[in-house]
Amino acid sequence: MLSLQTVMEINVLIDEGLESCLDVAWLESVVVEVLLAEGTDPGSELGLVITDQEKIRELNLVHLGEDEPTDVLSFPMLPDSGDEEEWGTFIVPPDGITHLGEVIISFPQAVIQAEERGHSVQKEVATLIIHGVLHILGYDHDEPEREGRMQACEAEILARIEEKGY
């Protein structure tokens, strides 16, 4: 039987100097857990980048106008259904894979936040992956009701990941 993890394509890129900090297979398993929890099409692809403070600051400035590092950035590949006017009509790639987007995490920021929150760096990175992937899938925290829904989903998925021992 083919597992969904082998069908889903998770592309992990860890910047030079950070390769020994995190296990690629573990990162992939966390992403897949979020996608499975949300019922994402098994023929999906998502990119995950682990980077440093300077690179994420640069991306935050260029894409969001914020000249400071942040913990996680999400870049959805496909528009929300309500954004068709802004994005135009997309042509589905011939490979049949749903290209979801890319999540970028600052590993140094994850370390800082793990210390502040009194838990492991691994738990913080998992939390950031969950948050970033949920943004890719259309979740947001721009209004109290939507924030509550996103936080509940994050907590549920994190509990599932911790239960499985990832």
Specify the CATH number for the domain of residue 123.
3.40.390.30
* Per-residue pLDDT tens over the stretch 13-31: 999 999 999 999 999 999 9
The answer to whether the predicted template modeling score (pTM) of the entire model surpasses 0.85 is: yes
Q: Rounded to an integer, what is the distance from CA 146 to the centroid of its chain?
A: 18
- Is the model more confident about 96 or about 102? 102
- In the sheet that holds 98-106, the strands lie side by side as 9-14, 44-51, 98-106, 72-76
Mean pLDDT of the chain, nearest integer: 88
CA gap 37, 94 in Å, rounded: 26
Closest CA to 136 of 58, 15, 52, 49: 49
The pLDDT value given to residue 87: 43
Which residues constitute the domain of residue 45? 4-164
What is the DSSP code (8-state) at residue 82?
Answer: G
Number of domains in the chain: 1
Closest CA to 103 of 22, 10, 21: 10
How many percent of the chain have pLDDT more than 90? 77
CB atoms within 10 A of CB 56: 24
Structure token pair of residue 8: 């889903």
